[in-house]
Amino acid sequence: MDMIEQPAVLIEDELTVLSALVPLKSQRVIELGCGNARLARTLLDQFTDSEWVGLEVDERQHAKNLAAPRDRLQFVAAGAQEIPFGDASFDLAVMLKSLHHVPIALLAQALEEIARVVRPGGHLYVSEPVYAGDLNALIRHFNDEGIVRAAAQKALDQALLGNDWKQVAQRRFDVPVHFRDFADFEQRMMRPTYADHQLDERKIAAVRDAFEPHCSAAGARFTRPMHVRLLQRS
């Protein structure tokens, strides 16, 4: 595969990036930190002979996922550092904005576990937000992820020094993000089910003041820069 890093473009649906890089027909896929599994459901609609397993550590999100079942989509309460499946069980592992949520001390273990469950020749698709841009600057007021995002990239670099993985492609692109108003932003970004950002009235007011200049009658529109690294199991 081509390792050339392409210039950033605007991407509405990340499935277009994933499908351009790896085969998705007749694949068994595991997603580590699946959230609401939106991409998984879309993919399974298009590739009717593939299967997807979504791991999630957020108990509330996991309960919501179990309440919305569908064929060929299995949900498991587990983390990337301890995957409850056998060796070489999957063709593809996917992490969408989730690697930096793995505790720093467990990053190496998680990547070893993923290597264990991905078959030789299979892939690991890691998509991480870049620590840059107006949206990132806004989020830093209540959740500065500079350290954990850098640690996630360093862990990938370290994993490539071993015998489990080789990097076969990179892609950079921007994702459009829209909020109707500050209340929408607060609910989606400041009060996720998986984290407590220790909000108080002063902090909320400061974030609102930083948000308002980006807002118009049509809401607030941002672009989030993303960086994909595709690794192949040796």
Digit-coded pLDDT (tens) for 34-47: 999 999 999 999 99
> 97: burial class by Cβ within 10 Å (0-12, 13-18, 19+)?
middle
| Structural domain of 102 | 15-131+144-175+225-233
Mean pLDDT of 120-149: 98
Residue 8 is predicted with a pLDDT of 73
| Of residues 130, 175, 148, the one with CA closest to residue 39 | 175
The answer to the question of residue 63 being in a domain is yes
The answer to the question of residue 48 being in a domain is yes
The answer to the question of residue 168 being in a domain is yes
39-77, pLDDT tens digit by residue?
Answer: 999 999 999 999 999 999 999 999 999 999 999 999 999
Which CATH number do you get for residue 163? Answer: 3.40.50.150
| Of residues 131, 136, 124, 134, the one with CA closest to residue 170 | 124
141-190, pLDDT tens digit by residue?
Answer: 999 999 999 999 999 999 999 999 999 999 999 999 999 999 999 999 99
Q: How many residues make up the chain in this entry?
A: 234
User: Is residue 139 predicted with pLDDT exceeding 50?
Assistant: yes
Residue 29 main-chain phi, psi, to 5 deg:
-120, 140
| Of residues 184, 98, 200, 203, the one with CA closest to residue 142 | 203
84-116, pLDDT tens digit by residue?
Answer: 999 999 999 999 999 999 999 999 999 999 999
Q: Which helix (H) or strand (E) holds 32?
A: strand 28-32
19-36, pLDDT tens digit by residue?
Answer: 999 999 999 999 999 999
The answer to the question of residue 215 being in a domain is no
Q: Which helix (H) or strand (E) holds 28?
A: strand 28-32
Taking the CA atoms of residue 175, residue 192, residue 144 and residue 226 in that order, the dihedral angle to the nearest 10 degrees is -20
The answer to the question of residue 55 being in a domain is yes
The answer to the question of residue 154 being in a domain is yes
- How far apart CA 71 and CA 139 sit, in angstroms, is 36
Confidence of residue 1 (pLDDT cuts 50, 70, 90): very low
Confidence of residue 3 (pLDDT cuts 50, 70, 90): low
Under a CB-based contact definition with an 8 Å cutoff, are residues 92 and 120 in contact?
no
Helices (H), the chain: 15-21, 38-46, 59-66, 107-117, 134-139, 146-159, 182-185, 201-211
Under a CB-based contact definition with an 8 Å cutoff, are residues 203 and 141 in contact?
yes
Residue 112 is predicted with a pLDDT of 98
The answer to the question of residue 191 being in a domain is no
Task: Specify the number of domains making up the chain.
Answer: 1
The answer to the question of residue 70 being in a domain is yes
Residue 60 is predicted with a pLDDT of 95
